[in-house]
Structure 1
Amino acid sequence: MRVATTITLSESDKQILEKNASSRSVSIRLSERSKIALLSAKGLENKEIAQRLNIPPNKVGKWRNRFAEGGIGSISKDKPRGANHGG
């Protein structure tokens, strides 16, 4: 059984994520990703976060890991799709 990546937030990151999670002016995707990061930082498991947000656990794991690797900037935008994303 794999252990979920630990997320630690700075106070400024937490404020930005909370704003994104509750804002109606950001995309639904960014709001959802912000909620994943916030709940991850509280120590919840991917399965529990998935149940709370009604999304697949693998989606939670993807965004949890991406946030752990790259911080707030890494959840703001999607990575390009496919092999020929540069033109």
Structure 2
Amino acid sequence: MTQTGARRCAAADARDPTPCEGRADAVAVLDAAGRQLTGCVHHGARLLASLDGGRLHPSAAALPWAVEVYCRAAELPPSPWIVGR
């Protein structure tokens, strides 16, 4: 499922032109300082790939999405919107 409209999840970088995928609160991504952003599967993966020391918040409810985000992030370069991915 892809969201339509101008509103995007909190994990979407302002420079990333790609649309959200799925629920806007599917996963919670934490940076090295512990700050948390919730996001869709697509932008959660892109954010996780871009953070040094980033991690996913351990939530049993989000486990299926978290696995997908983790696997996608492992295949992405940091800031994939800059290199066109």
Q: TM-score range by the shorter chain?
A: 0.3 to 0.5
TM-score (norm 2): 0.35
Q: Between Structure 1 and Structure 2, which shows a larger proportion of strand residues?
A: 2
TM-score (norm 1): 0.34
